[in-house]
Structure 1
Amino acid sequence: MTARSTRVPAGQQTSAGRPAASRPGRRTRVVHTTRDADGRVTSRVRRSVLPSGLRIVTEEMAGVRSASVGVWAGVGSRHESGALHGCSHFLEHLLFKGTHTRSALDISVALDQVGGEFNAFTAKDYTCFHARTLDEDLPVAIDVLGDMVTASVLAEPDVEAERQVILDEIAMHDDDPDDVVHNLFALQAWGDSPLGRPIAGTTASIEALTRDQVHRFWQRHYRPETLVVSVAGNIDHAAVVRQVAAAFDRDGFLDGTAEPATVPQRLDARRVRPGTATAHRPFEQVNLVLGGRGLTRTDPRRFALGVLSTALGGSTSSRLFQEVRERRGLAYSVYSFTGQHADAGLLGVAAGCLPARQDALLDVVRHELASVAADGLTPEEVERGQGQLRGGLVLGLEDSGSRMFRLGKAELFGTELLTLDEILHRIDAVTVDEVGELAGELLGGGEVLALVGP
């Protein structure tokens, strides 16, 4: 059935007749409501801002019994100075090590005993702590995450123990050819800048970080106005807001008033720098990434880019997969990808092959990229790319975790939260000419090449 969506301006009544604002000092509004063809509500997105600046965004999903919660901090590896390289990721690890009322084991047990899943990750633009539980156990997840983010101890022995864990993680990534080649590609593209450096830091930078540096970093960047809590699933918005307010109001964390702060939109990203970077590793294969400039996160042409990337190397029917693997047998894996930030982006192709086939593989990939840059894609390829995007989007958003991630990112970066129908409409509106023009612009410039192998 076809869904339809409505947007309710701030301060107006909801469809159920309840006022959008729930109490003085707390601003709440309905972002949009989606109904099925029979008029039944299938999802509703609401946003509340506490006086402290903490933002809470929820999506109530009909017909599910799970709930997912994410706590988003608007700081990542690209916000670090050279002396603090790897600090965001280090802090992410340390917030699991214990609070004033919970040990590291207590944190794990709290979620394990209700069958929940929880984890965290650090990106270049942000850090996210997330959990997924049965709907009835959501308060447990919210309380644990709030405790970790606001009341962690960061004890010196834990800092030293986790330092060794992170050094092992860096060594593990250095043994993974895929990680090595993508890090090398970013370094070549953006140079020795925060955006070009590896998220986890280096052995030298992690060994040099002190507990006081990490603690100050935490206090400076984890403030109510820089945090977002996103929740999706079988939930009630008002109940979630109460639970979040209670979980985060430890040690006066929510005292004071502030306006929400979005992630800085203009940092120090450099223009993509063409060139070739290589790293010798005793691997069986040569791994390569070939590409160049992409689009920013908010560029209106990002839907055309999605179609281009998908048709180029996003499926088994894509041009690169058919030409590289099916027709020539040059590689087991070949795919295209995009990386998008507030002020920069990349478009690339990744593949791995036996050393003897490296030159032939590069020749074929370069030929296909040049062909698409010059002549664009066929109408059939564009149509397949649109279909792949539509299907992947709809299937992905059937999961509460995917909805939660979408909410959190949109709120954190201050970007428009489109409904599913709006996104599908923009994908369908992409034309063959738009894809061809974009391909000529992005694929016709200087190339960035990273090679890792024997």
Structure 2
Amino acid sequence: MGKILHLDNGTPLLYEKITHINSFSMGIYVKTGAIDEKENESGISHFIEHMLFKGTEKRSAKDISEEIDNIGGKMNAYTSKDTTTFYITGLSEHFEIAADVLSDIFLNSTFTEKNIEKEKKVVIEEIRMYEDIPEEKIHDINNEYIFNGNYGKNILGTEESINALTKEKILDYYRTRYTSDNIAIVVVGNLSEEEVLKTFNLYFKNFNTIKKDRIEKKEFKLNAVKNILKKEISQVHLCVNTLGSSYTSENRYVGSILSIILGGNMSSRLFQKIREEKGLAYSVYTFNTVFYEGGAFSVYAGTTKENYNEVIDMIYEEWKDIKENGITEKELVKAKNQVLSSLILGLETTRARMSRLASSYITYNKIIPLEEIKNKINAIDLERVKKYANKIFDEKYYSVTILGDINE
């Protein structure tokens, strides 16, 4: 199990030693994302993620990638609604080089006007790419419709918001969010605690800034709406939504159980009924969207304009059946095994372990033991699932987003 350490300046460092391997994963997790952006800076979190790879005071963009490639490492980053992450994986013997590069891009990126303008073009092409992938685009549209305020913001932003970004805006956001009390450094691998602390204390010795509140947090609200976006494509893509749970809710794992039973695998209820029995969709699955303040429980399906209404009705019918009749003991046992299997098998790499440590700390400000999670999942019974189903499968929470060549 990992442990929470602190650098000399107070920055949290999450550490786990694994002795039977010869590799590591290290990351810096920033508690910032789309929900922290002002109205006129949509996409700025993701844009800064890109900019940190574009050059520092001592390394060019090519130097950064080449130095990690030379040691056989992998470096990447990603942005979510509430977190921005930068990470490197590699062999234990190259830990010092990787730590140097990761610290350098995080602390010393130059944000030149030339690189900013060049990267705007890259990000806009990324936005256009997703515009051309309707099975991806539907999720962005759905979020914008069903969540209020910042919770529904598109992580990538829009062409207009990206073009409107200035160096001043970017640096203001970076300086007020990339601070010692708003990040966590995570290191997992066959490395000594002393070596890890010594290395990051060296690089972060002058990093001691305090996060500033930049926006007023709005109340979390799930909108019960029906929205249709007409687009000339061959399929109809849809998301059907209802109330979900928050990160801190005791029902979070019950939501995972219900998601698996309804659409988590090829033997799930909706997959069997919509695809296997009726042949109405190729892809159908369930998913939970989870924030600290609340969440949504959703079903996605890709179908046709002749059949999309029937698919929506079938989803609602299945929700009603679970609400009224519950689930079977067999379904519960199978779903628990799926959740536990994903949880345990997902920890077989250093990167997965790194992600778990970071997620636990950022969400709960502590590292939750794996046994504690397993016990919570195993404690879920039929009555609790039915009670939760009665709460969330209520028409006052229902919403649907439809993308396709339809008129209504």
TM-score bracket for the superposition, by shorter chain length: over 0.9
Residues 1:320 and 2:270 aligned together:
yes
Secondary structure in 1 matching 2:184: strand
| Distance of 1:271 and 1:219 partners within structure 2 | 30
Specify the code of the residue in structure 2 equivalent to 1:448.
S
Offset at 1:221? 1.0
Between Structure 1 and Structure 2, which shows a larger proportion of helix residues? 2
| Distance of 1:270 and 1:418 partners within structure 2 | 25
Offset at 1:219? 1.1
Match of 2:174 in 1: 218
Residues 1:447 and 2:404 aligned together:
no
| Distance of 2:4 and 2:194 partners within structure 1 | 10
Aligned ranges 1:8-407 → 2 under 5 Å: 44-191=1-148, 193-249=149-205, 252-254=206-208, 267-407=217-357
| Distance of 1:443 and 1:177 partners within structure 2 | 27
Offset at 1:263? 10
Count residues in correspondence: 403
Question: Quick check: 1:262–1:414 contact (8 Å CA) kept in 2?
Answer: no
In the alignment, structure 1 segments of 5+ residues that lack a partner are 1-43
Could you give the per-residue CA deviations for residues 123-169 of structure 1, whole angstroms, max 9, x where no partner exists? 11111111111122222222111111110000000000000111111
Question: Quick check: 2:3–2:367 contact (8 Å CA) kept in 1?
Answer: no
Question: Quick check: 2:4–2:15 contact (8 Å CA) kept in 1?
Answer: yes
Secondary structure in 1 matching 2:217: coil
**CA 1:379–1:263: 2 relative to 1, 3 Å:** farther
Please say which of residues 391-400 and 230-239 is displaced more in the overlay: 230-239
Specify the code of the residue in structure 2 equivalent to 1:385.
A
Could you give the per-residue CA deviations for residues 318-356 of structure 1, whole angstroms, max 9, x where no partner exists? 111111111111111111100111102111001101222
Specify the code of the residue in structure 1 equivalent to 2:207.
F
Secondary structure in 1 matching 2:150: coil
Offset at 1:231? 1.3
Question: Quick check: 1:52–1:225 contact (8 Å CA) kept in 2?
Answer: no
Secondary structure in 1 matching 2:289: strand
Secondary structure in 1 matching 2:47: helix
Secondary structure in 2 matching 1:382: helix
Match of 2:370 in 1: 420
| Distance of 1:237 and 1:284 partners within structure 2 | 55
| Distance of 1:270 and 1:299 partners within structure 2 | 14
Specify the code of the residue in structure 2 equivalent to 1:338.
N
In the alignment, structure 2 segments of 5+ residues that lack a partner are none
Question: Quick check: 2:220–2:293 contact (8 Å CA) kept in 1?
Answer: no
Match of 1:430 in 2: 380
Secondary structure in 2 matching 1:277: strand
**CA 1:232–1:328: 2 relative to 1, 3 Å:** same
Could you give the per-residue CA deviations for residues 52-105 of structure 1, whole angstroms, max 9, x where no partner exists? 231100111242222111101111111111112111111111010000011000
Q: TM-score, normalised by structure 1?
A: 0.85
Question: Quick check: 1:147–1:248 contact (8 Å CA) kept in 2?
Answer: no
Specify the code of the residue in structure 2 equivalent to 1:452.
L
Which segments of structure 1 move beyond 4 Å, counting only runs of 4 or more?
261-264
Could you give the per-residue CA deviations for residues 240-298 of structure 1, whole angstroms, max 9, x where no partner exists? 1111122334xx334x8x7xx7999x931431010111212222211111012111101
| Distance of 1:180 and 1:373 partners within structure 2 | 30
Secondary structure in 1 matching 2:151: coil
